[in-house]
Amino acid sequence: MQTQSVASPAAGSLAPSTTGPQPGTSLLANPLLATWRERALAFEREVGKAVLGQERVIRLITIATFARGHVLLEGDVGVGKTTLLRAVARAIGGSFSRIEGTIDLMPADLVYHAHLGEDGKPRIDPGPLLKQAGDLSIFFFNEINRARPQVHSLLLRLMAERTVSAFNRDYFFPHLQVFADRNRVEREETFELPAAARDRFLMEIAVDMPAQADARRRLIFDPRFHDIDALMEEVREGVLDPTQLDTVARAIQTGVTASPVLETYVTALWDAVRDPAGHGIDIPGVEMDRLVMGGASPRGMSYLVRAARVRAWLDGRDMVVPEDIRAVFPEVMAHRIFLDPVYELRRDALVAELIAGVFATVPAP
């Protein structure tokens, strides 16, 4: 995923050689969006200093940040999920808090901190979630699937409403963005996230090994990547201002338009995902009329368009095109599609094929 300069916002190789109004002029006309696009690209560059070969993941996290959505990272052990999240938190700026999921972690451990004071008396202080109170901009949840369902439901409310009840009152976190990660290798002593909690995440991003051999070599041999703390120092702090992100996100959502043709397209995609057999999508060895049991909620579809708008803005366009939808579709929609239990074990491969089939079938424009 390549970044482009603002000077030629019309999508790279597709820029027509003919004269005429350049697509995206109206976006440049809005100085707020133009300058913030610069800052977003700078943010990507800063995170890219610490994390090698994950350009797509960084771009998706940028999209999620400007769509004000929560992100669940999924991947093997040691691919750099935590490093990535630390770099992202540092580059976004603002205060952040972090907690590790364990099997005995209870909701109260997130909210309260119980200890013995210097005078020997028991004390209850605000826990990791409340410490920074309203300023909290990023909340990390490492190994979220190790926490119990009680914790998940606390998180449900935190993500959906950005509030938590504690000390007999509600705490409000206006700028909060939740990042969670889980590794998909271990299954012992873990709790599957409930569908409702997963639906609250804007994206589920799979973090894989870097594909390029060069990046892999550097990750192994370059001492720079061995000292994570020193690596973090290189990332410039506070490239984005979390208190302003909401305003920018609103401006993006109103500034980038979706035409009626695109609305038709997205609706057709939705239909095709829910009824692949009716749209002639075929996956070998799969009974298409029972593959999809449901899902692809309206909230999911609205998230999809939200993310697509941000992607269009990052590409310097003031309109959403089908490519934007396609670029964010797997991460936003895959975890919202519910398969027949028979096919659940092969979920990753089947959903990828289903999505590829949907995009190969639904006509655009």
Partner 1 sequence: MRARLSPLLAAGLLLALAIAAPAQAQVNTQSEEQERTQGAGAGDTANAPVLPAGGPFRALDLYPPRNFGYLLGDAIRHEIEIALDPAYHIEPASLPRARALTYWLNLQNVRLEDLGIREGTRRYRLWLDYQTFYAPLEPKRLEIPALTLTASDGIRSTDAKVPAWSFVMTPLREVAGSASGEALRLRSDIAPANVPTRRLVTATIGAAGVALLALAALAAQFGWGPFRRMRARPFAAALRAIRRAGPELDSSSTSSDSPVYRDALLALHRALDATAGRRVLAEDLPGFLDDHPDYRPAAPELETLFAASRRLFFAADAGSAGTLLAPKAVPGLARRLSAIERTAA
**Which parts of this chain interact with partner 1 (CB under 8 A)?**
10-11, 13-21, 23, 257-262, 318-323, 326, 359-365
- Residue that the structure tokens 């609706």 belong to: 267
Residue among 164 and 266 whose Cβ is closer to partner 1 = 266
Cβ of residue 365: shortest distance to partner 1, in angstroms? 4
The CB-of-332 to partner 1 minimum distance in angstroms stands at 18
Surface-to-core class of residue 165, CB atoms within 10 Å of its CB (0-12 exposed, 13-18 middle, 19+ buried) = exposed
Which of 71, 129, 58 shows the shortest CA–CA distance to 98? 129
Nearest distance, CB of residue 25 and partner 1, angstroms: 10
The answer to whether the CB of 51 falls within 8 A of the CB of 184 is no
For the bound state, the minimum distance from the C-beta of residue 329 to partner 1, rounded and expressed in Å, comes to 12
Q: Which is nearer to partner 1, 29 or 345 (CB)?
A: 29
Kindly tell me which of 109 and 323 has the beta carbon lying closer to partner 1.
323
Please name the residue that has the structure tokens 């820029």.
Answer: 15
Cβ closer to partner 1: 11 or 215? 11
Shortest Å, Cβ 363 to partner 1: 6
Residue 19 CB, nearest approach to partner 1 (Å): 8
User: By three-state DSSP, how is residue 5 classified?
Assistant: coil
Helix (H, G, I), strand (E, B) or coil at 70: strand
Q: Which is nearer to partner 1, 193 or 312 (CB)?
A: 312
Residue type, 237: E
Nearer to partner 1, 138 or 312 (CB): 312
User: Is the CB of 262 or the CB of 339 nearer to partner 1?
Assistant: 262
Provide the 3-class DSSP secondary structure of residue 138. strand
Closer to partner 1 by Cβ: residue 78 or 280: 280
**CA pair distance 191, 180, nearest whole angstrom:** 14
The whole-angstrom separation of Cα 241 and Cα 252 is 16
CB 76 within 8 A of CB 183: yes
Provide the b/e sequence for 174-186 (b: ≥16 CB within 10 Å).
ebbbbbbbbbeee
CB 324 to partner 1: min, Å: 9
Alpha helices in the chain (DSSP H): 25-29, 31-50, 55-66, 81-92, 107-111, 149-161, 195-200, 213-221, 228-234, 242-255, 260-274, 288-291, 298-314, 322-333, 341-344, 347-361
> Rounded to an integer, what distance in angstroms lies between the CA atom of residue 203 and that of residue 306?
11
At closest approach, how far in Å is the CB of 36 from partner 1?
21
Q: Which is nearer to partner 1, 25 or 165 (CB)?
A: 25
Q: Are the CB atoms for 208 and 202 separated by under 8 Å? A: no
Q: How far is the CB of 310 from partner 1 (least distance, A)?
A: 16
